[in-house]
Structure 1
């Protein structure tokens, strides 16, 4: 279907590369797993270009394609060490040096892309697709024992923009972390905050049932142990003293437009998680 992939991938645009990745997600959703999607995969070749974007970041499509192929976790490795390779590469894309200027994000290269619109807003009230897809990827595939130190390391990053996204994502993810929502296909596009990402609506329970890897179908997108561990970390990390410090760092004095765009979301976060 995509003969251009047999040529040089370097000559293809982000838009062109998103198309076969979308086919993996939509095709698996509609027809179940197929060998051409699971044995020939674009992951390794496209990792260096994961932060390129056409409307959405290429990273989002890479993550969705991977999740579609491995809905029940990485049960059968294509080669020994595959799981670790994936976690150390795809799982760490957000930490690429090009995404950061010192301790803050590189504005416009990661998370929200631009405020070039009539209202000149960045849309910080929603979770950026690269961020939310990466968070769910790590929650889904990390060993349960690694969830707590990984999540604490996410919270310890002092970037105001990064911390704004953490709060937005945690408010939006409250339903799935509390097992009210089970799969990304159930995310509402009208939700505030919205935490879906490119083709995440394709990820549903039927994929787990159709998986032919031999893995037992998982009942929820995020494993129970990871979900419980994440909730415990959030509740223990955000004490009554720490959360006000985050708010000061996020927007009040350093980045005024973050405060304006987040509006009521920090108060919602406090009501949900800070006790």
Structure 2
């Protein structure tokens, strides 16, 4: 793969999705839970039926078992087999949500199974197919309404709460997981052009999330923090996502792929490239343009409050 960009409307690649589905058929035996105390283990037998009839919350529970189980007990062929099938089958439903987006669970499961990178592909071209599908979900046509996001389909879902706030001061889980996913698995040569494509999207909501995520991710990017398990729920901005606390260094040493353990979620080359691109992209004039754009949506400006100033201190030269 010599090109990977985020372009609005250019989401899941249908040919890559077809290859994933061809290589990962439905397993014959049901998937079991990770945590059980007695003689009888819960089995997710419903997964053997029609996945379209299973609610997103139940599907999220399955991915939670895969991620938490792999972290605590090490990799199991059963969970790997089921994860790959569910990934291929459920990618078109990635933007469905119950408190969090299904996309977040898909991302966490992949990172738990491939903590040291995709060194042993289930089939030739697998990593590229995953990047062209899971890695591009945020660009699906349903996520965009012209130049702006389709509100409620990606990023913050609603302000249906007593205080009528959207929580734009935190990174939405689908965005944060997708950013880390691409930084972790993209070939080094593709990181810079991909990041520039992320920054070139003019949506005020999107730009607000980029600013928030870069402030929250500063610890990862400057190597003072290495794994999502270190994210604090009290952080402002918070950049965790569904079950991201399962992603920790332990996964790298129990991984049975034969790959050497990595030191951090994001490779050093990707971290360095990100900092270089951010600092070269955000001149004072460019940053002012972004702040002005964000301010066209009053609730964005109000909820971000001091975060753009923090961004300027960290990145604008």
Where structure 1 has 5 or more consecutive residues not aligned to the other structure, the ranges are none
**CA deviation after TM superposition for structure 1 residue 156, in Å:** 0.3
Determine the C-alpha separation between the residues in 2 that align with 1:132 and 1:80.
28
**Whole-angstrom distance in 1 between the partners of 2:248 and 2:58:** 25
Give the whole-Å Cα distance in 2 for the aligned partners of 1:204 and 1:147: 23
Could you tell me how far 1:131 is from its partner in structure 2? 0.3
The residue number in structure 1 matching 2:272 is: 228
- 1:22 aligned residue: 64
Matched, 1:68 2:112: yes
Report 1:134-213 matches (<5 A): 134-213=178-257
**Aligned residues between the structures:** 273
Aligned-pair distance for 1:240? 1.2
**2: CA distance, partners of 1:179 / 1:138:** 18
1:60-98 Cα deviation digits (max 9, x unpaired): 000000000000000100001101100000000000000
Task: Name the CA distance, whole Å, in 1 between partners of 2:233 and 2:280.
Answer: 30
- For 2:82 and 2:162, the matched residues in 1 are separated by 42
Q: How does 1:52-131 map to 2 (within 5 A)?
A: 52-131=96-175
2:3 corresponds in structure 1 to: none
Aligned to 2:298: 256
Q: By how many angstroms is 1:140 displaced?
A: 0.3
* Counterpart in the other structure of 2:48: 6
**SS in structure 1 opposite 2:284?**
coil
Report whether the alignment pairs 1:37 with 2:79.
yes
TM-score (norm 1): 0.99
For residue 270 of structure 1, report the CA deviation from its aligned partner: 0.1
Q: TM-score, normalised by structure 2?
A: 0.86
Deviation, 1:38, is 1.3
Aligned residue for 1:216? 260
**Distance in 2 separating the partners of 1:178 and 1:31:** 31
Per-residue deviation, residues 90-116 of structure 1 (Å, max 9, x unmatched): 000000000000110001111000001
**1-side partners of 2:175 and 2:198: how far apart?**
11
Q: Distance in 2 between matches of 1:240 and 1:110?
A: 29
CA drift at 1:177: 0.3
Equivalent position of 2:27 in the other structure:
none
